[in-house]
Amino acid sequence: MNGLYLQLHAYMLRVAIPYGTFSSKQMRKLAHIARTYDRGYGHFTTRQNIQFNWPKLEDVPKLLAELADVEMHAIQTSGNCIRNVTADPYAGAVADEVDDSRIWAEIVRQWSTLHPEFTFLGRKFKIAVSASEYDRAVIRFHDIGLIAKKNDVGEMGFEVWIGGGLGRTPMIGKVSNEFVPAEDLLSYLEAVLRVYNMCGRRDNKHKARIKILVHETGLDELRAQIEEEWIAIKDSSLKVPQYEVDRIRAYFSPPEFKVLEVVDRGFEIKKFESPEFARWVSGNVVTHKNAGYAIVNISLKPKKLPPGDVTSNQMEGLADLAETYSFDEIRATHEQNLVFAHVKQSELFELWQELEKIGLAMPNIGKVTDMIVCPGLDYCGLANARSIPVAQRISKRFSDLDQQFDLGELKLKISGCINACGHHHVGHIGLLGVDRRGEEYYQITLGGSGAEDAAIGNIVGPAFSSEDIVNAVEEVISLYVETRHLGERFLDTYRRIGAAPFKSRLYPE
């Protein structure tokens, strides 16, 4: 269950960051580990964790001991168990949530840690928690996705999505229960896991995820089995007592926000004076629920480094900045970026300047160069093709920021094989690396989305060679630019006009 894997060239250690939230002290330790035991960098993953790609096997015990010094570990980041629980990276900072999803993710984390019954499941099991109608945690593509909501009388509960997943058989999750009362959350999860553990397939590991059980059993039948188990165990010590919720909530209590003006005048002036700063604000900064504060996305997709990679020096810089500007707290996102959740508007300009100094002020959040990319054949023994060099060539081709802003939200995701670690199925544009007689080829999918408008992308046609793939992506984007209505995102244009025009553009007679 310790996330240590032998990869193509070396061992990889995956460190758990529950719900992606960690402190400056922990970040400094990660920087130290990267410098001492690795090659001076770490890689943030799509499940809000961090991976080290080059530790020596004999160093791993020391490395784990160092992690334990800052209350971190690598348990349940591999194996057929319940993996590290993820949550909305804007939790506690955004106005559209009904609660801080990390509170419930923490309750689930405690319940699932070293669970005696669910440590040898048929396959890995991933749970994500959100508390908003906007999906920033890919809820619909998890084994279980939880969306906190309130019922008509104001009580908290969860909409439960089961059987979502990517990989070689991508499936959008289905709602197994529209409202599980909060106090019954753990008994419901236990019922789902028990039914899955007993009934999920064990004969073929490619058919062992719960999505296949949902598909083969049928949602109604499976739901009935879950309900039967749930009713039998609901009124037991699995009930989550209110004092425990309150106790855990206290750990996530809001920092001491100052009472500030809704709009900071100095901030507005700086935006006016510096178009570059204004562009970074428009690309990376999101409205905070508290007046005078902002949520800052820090892009880990600079031009040159592999997506999601951060050097030890950058990590230390970020640790200092989080202490100064964001209450000593950092979030990792599933899109392989970082978030400072609580920054004063009046300090954004300083923070931006400081981020510039460590090369982390790219204003490309949600833009075409903000790609999710798996490690690919540069690191991974499963991959058919390299992902990182293709990402870098796309980054270069679209490096013009004016063009990126003109293209608007465009989610491009690259996987080096059908296991889909780069989430290509849910990319507005997805690239999948395939092997064709020893050559690296790339298949294009269009129209996917991992957000609340969840969709699985469609394969548009035969794969392109490594040489041609960037041109092909550019053709797809050109067609969008020529066809879009005013203000229309790539995804919406695709949904409006369908795949046919893209097909004829990419594969002319």
For other proteins, the binding residues in 97-116 under the rule CB under 8 A are 110-116
The one among 16, 17, 63, 121 contacting other proteins by CB under 8 A: 121
Pick the closest to residue 333 from 55, 59, 135 (CA basis).
Answer: 135
Nearer to other proteins among residue 57 and residue 232 (C-beta): 232
Nearer to other proteins among residue 95 and residue 224 (C-beta): 224
Nearer to other proteins among residue 23 and residue 110 (C-beta): 110
Nearer to other proteins among residue 28 and residue 207 (C-beta): 207
Spatial separation of the C-alpha atoms in residues 161 and 128, rounded to whole Å: 10
Q: Cβ of residue 290: shortest distance to other proteins, in angstroms?
A: 31
Site residue total, other proteins (CB under 8 A):
27
The one among 236, 242, 253, 471 contacting other proteins by CB under 8 A: 236
CB 415 within 8 Å of CB 372 = no
Pick the closest to residue 111 from 161, 49, 173, 184 (CA basis).
Answer: 184
Dihedral sign (CA 501, 416, 339, 19)? positive
**269-275 contact pairs (CB < 8 A, 24+):** 270/348, 270/349, 274/349
Give the binding range for other proteins (CB under 8 A) out of 243-251, 356-364, 468-476, 482-490. Answer: 243-251
From start to end of 198-351, where are the E strands? 285-287, 293-298, 309-311, 329-332, 338-344
Q: Cβ of residue 448: shortest distance to other proteins, in angstroms?
A: 33
Q: Cβ of residue 50: shortest distance to other proteins, in angstroms?
A: 23
Q: Cβ of residue 196: shortest distance to other proteins, in angstroms?
A: 9
238 is an interface residue for other proteins by CB under 8 A: yes
CB 284 within 8 Å of CB 321 = no
Nearer to other proteins among residue 123 and residue 484 (C-beta): 123
Spatial separation of the C-alpha atoms in residues 438 and 312, rounded to whole Å: 36
Spatial separation of the C-alpha atoms in residues 291 and 455, rounded to whole Å: 35
Question: What's the Cα-to-Cα distance from 106 to each of 103, 129, 218, rounded to whole Å?
Answer: 5, 10, 31
Pick the closest to residue 127 from 157, 98, 164, 93 (CA basis).
Answer: 164
Q: Cβ of residue 40: shortest distance to other proteins, in angstroms?
A: 34
242 is an interface residue for other proteins by CB under 8 A: no
CB 358 within 8 Å of CB 314 = yes
Q: Cβ of residue 216: shortest distance to other proteins, in angstroms?
A: 16
279 is an interface residue for other proteins by CB under 8 A: no
- Over the window 54 to 83, marking each residue x when it contacts other proteins by CB under 8 A and - when it does not, the resulting string is --------------------------x---
504 is an interface residue for other proteins by CB under 8 A: no
Say which residue the tokens 């931006």 belong to.
Answer: 352
494 is an interface residue for other proteins by CB under 8 A: no
List, in order, residues 6 or more apart from 305 with CB less than 8 Å away: 41, 311
Spatial separation of the C-alpha atoms in residues 482 and 499, rounded to whole Å: 15
As a residue count, the chain comes to 509
The one among 7, 23, 78, 119 contacting other proteins by CB under 8 A: 119
**Tokens, residue 362:** 């790219």
Question: What's the Cα-to-Cα distance from 180 to each of 125, 183, 445, rounded to whole Å?
Answer: 20, 8, 35
Nearer to other proteins among residue 115 and residue 279 (C-beta): 115
What is the identity of the amino acid at 345? Q
Nearer to other proteins among residue 38 and residue 143 (C-beta): 143
Give the binding range for other proteins (CB under 8 A) out of 156-164, 241-249, 265-273, 403-411. Answer: 241-249
Nearer to other proteins among residue 205 and residue 258 (C-beta): 205
Instruction: Please report, in angstroms and rounded to a whole number, the separation of the first and last CA atoms in the chain.
Output: 52
List, in order, residues 6 or more apart from 465 with CB less than 8 Å away: 439, 440, 441, 442
253 is an interface residue for other proteins by CB under 8 A: no
CB 344 within 8 Å of CB 352 = no
Nearer to other proteins among residue 236 and residue 399 (C-beta): 236
CB 15 within 8 Å of CB 50 = yes
Nearer to other proteins among residue 236 and residue 465 (C-beta): 236
Nearer to other proteins among residue 150 and residue 201 (C-beta): 201
Spatial separation of the C-alpha atoms in residues 36 and 463, rounded to whole Å: 41
Q: Cβ of residue 183: shortest distance to other proteins, in angstroms?
A: 13
Q: Cβ of residue 130: shortest distance to other proteins, in angstroms?
A: 23
Nearer to other proteins among residue 121 and residue 281 (C-beta): 121
For other proteins, the binding residues in 173-202 under the rule CB under 8 A are 186, 194, 197-198, 202
Name the residues that contact other proteins, by CB under 8 A: 80, 110-121, 186, 194, 197-198, 202, 232-233, 236-238, 241, 243-244, 247
